[in-house]
Structures are given as C-alpha cells and as structure tokens.
Amino acid sequence: MMLRYTRRATSLLRGLILSLLRLALFAPLAEAGGPVTLTLYNGQHKEVGDAVAKAFEAKTGIHVNVRKGSSNQLASQIVEEGDRSPADVIYTEESPPLNKLGEQGLLAKADDATLAVLPKDYVASNGTWIGVTARVRVVAFNPKLIDEKDLPKTVLDFANPEWQGKVGFVPTSGAFQEQAVAIIKLHGMDAAEEWLTGLRAFGKTYSNNMVALKAVENGEVATVLVNNYYWFALQREKGQLDSKLHYFTDGDAGGLITVSSAAVIKSSKYPKEAQQLLAYMVSEEGQRVITQTTAEYPLHKGMESDRGLKPFSELQAPKVTPADLGNAEEALDLERDVGLN
C-alpha cells in the first residue's frame, strides 16, 4: 500500500515538473512572438505624451501604454521599482529628474543616430538622456498695469520691495527651480537665496503656471515668471490676449532655456523598440507632432518653430545648459530654507 502511494506521488511530482518546464520553455517564446507594447512614463503634459504615443503607433504599429504623473513622481517610482519597472521610456517636463536617474545608473545610452540630430548642449554629457524640445523663461505682463519699459533689466530685481504685490511665480514649478539653479551657477548661492527670500516676501505665489498666467491676463497681478509656451496655450484657447511676453537679454537668468527630456530605461524589456520611440520623438515628424501640440522649440538640428515664437536664434539665454542644472536639489534645499517649499 505504501509503495503504491509513493509511486503515485512520484508520478504526480514528475508531471508537475514537466508542466513547469513546458511553461518556462514555451511561455517566453510566445511572448517574444507576440506584439510589442511599450510603456511610457509621461511627466510631460498629458496631451503631448498622448499625441506622441498615437503618432508613433500609427507609424510603426507599436502600441504605447502611457502612464501619466509628475516628472519627479515618475522618476522616484522608477528608482523604487528598480529592475522590475514596467517603464521602457520616461518623458519629463524638465531635465533634472533624468539627470538624477542617470546619476543612479538607471538609464540606457541613447543611440548615436538619435544623439546626432540634436545640439550637444541639450543632451546629457554621457548620452543617457536627450532634450526633446526647448522652452524659454519669460515675464508675462499686463500692459494695462505696467509698461514694458518699466520692467527690470534682470530677473533678480523682482526680489526688491518695489515689486511688492506686482510679481507672481510658481515655487513648485520645475522650471522655476531650474531658474534658481541658474542663478546659483551665475551669481552664487547667496544671490539665489536673496532672490528667493525677496520673492517670498514681496511676490504672489500660484499653484501652477496656467493659474499664474490667467492672473496676469485678468489683471490680478502685473507680471508673472513663466515658460513661454503657457502664453501660447492660453492664446490658442482664448484668441487675442491682453497680456504680452517680455524676453530678458544679455544672458540674464530670466531668459533661461530649459528642455523637456526623454530617456530609455536600462531595465526595458524592449530596448530596441524603446530606442525607436526615442528616435521618433526627435525626428522631424515627431518634432512636428510635439510642437503642434505645445508651443515649444524643436531641437532637431535645422528645424524652426512655425507657431509664431520668437526665433530660437534670437534668444539671449545665459550660458547654463540643461546638463549644468544637474538634479536641481540645490534649489529645492534653498526653497525649503527660505520657507517656499
């Protein structure tokens, strides 16, 4: 009796092992032969990420599953997930989150052909992330409340008492934090701390850039510090605007150029297709898809915006590149120190 049970148990165990072996051998082959679906962690504006995914699928047949979140949130999620991350590509509003992921060795180097179509100032020094499109920091102002000639020559002057109640800003904005880093790079930590302290004392804080811009448009505040593309987005929505844009010159930090960025995750299960998506984003076709959705500057060499932006070649930005901005932790620390964050 005992022998019969032993044989039956042995037979069942052998069958179970064979079943598991079949699963191990054939399941990956089935997956490999099936259609590829990429996962894009999208920290850019929702409509931009969705437009890229739709256009890429139409061109290649590769479906892109878009997961929306803030750039910093998605970057932190990738760190937590490690090799288990479902993300193949991450697309961010700013470069610092990708600088941080690159420092931690979580990004794959972009293909050389992709890097070749972009100016070297707008990619990571080691090629692990790329700038996709550019935007410039500006002052949006309401001419009914202030003449353009009365605006300061440098963004640093907005921290002075005479601007009390007349300037708005968004301390949680990644681009605002990048601007603070640029001031650190150009003028030192003390100057940046003084600027943030003055803005906290005399400026008006807003929850996001569009809310701030609408405050200028509606005459609630004379000026706000924003990225240029928000103004064009509001113009597309409302038509003729009362507010106007002022561009800082002579390399002032007020005219900082920043980039939306993208990278392939090193742990991607589909590295070839992920690199295809990255290449598409900076191809001429991909750049048109993006810049028709948001009024940013194409970074593909030789391309110009057709959205009525001030020509990229005429911007007089400071000599601070996205790579120079690092992970922006200095600015976050300063904001906390002065009570802005």
Tens-place pLDDT, residues 165-207 = 999 999 999 999 999 999 999 999 999 999 999 999 999 999 9
Scan for tokens 């082959």, then name that residue: 29
Q: What is the pLDDT of residues 243-302, one digit of tens each?
A: 999 999 999 999 999 999 999 999 999 999 999 999 999 999 999 999 999 999 999 999
* Residue 125 and residue 142 in one domain: no
Range of the domain at 51: 37-134+259-312
Q: What's the pLDDT band for 33 if we cut at 50, 70, 90?
A: low
Q: How many domains does the chain have?
A: 2
CA dihedral of 101, 102, 108, 111, whole degrees rounded to 10:
130
* Residue 174 and residue 266 in one domain: no
* Residue 265 and residue 246 in one domain: no
CATH number of the CATH domain containing 153: 3.40.190.10
Q: Give Cβ neighbours of residue 155 (< 8 Å, ≥ 6 apart).
A: 137, 139, 179, 183, 195, 225, 248, 252, 253, 254
Residue 223 dihedral angles phi and psi, to the nearest 5°: -145, 155
- How large is the average pLDDT for residues 212-235? 97
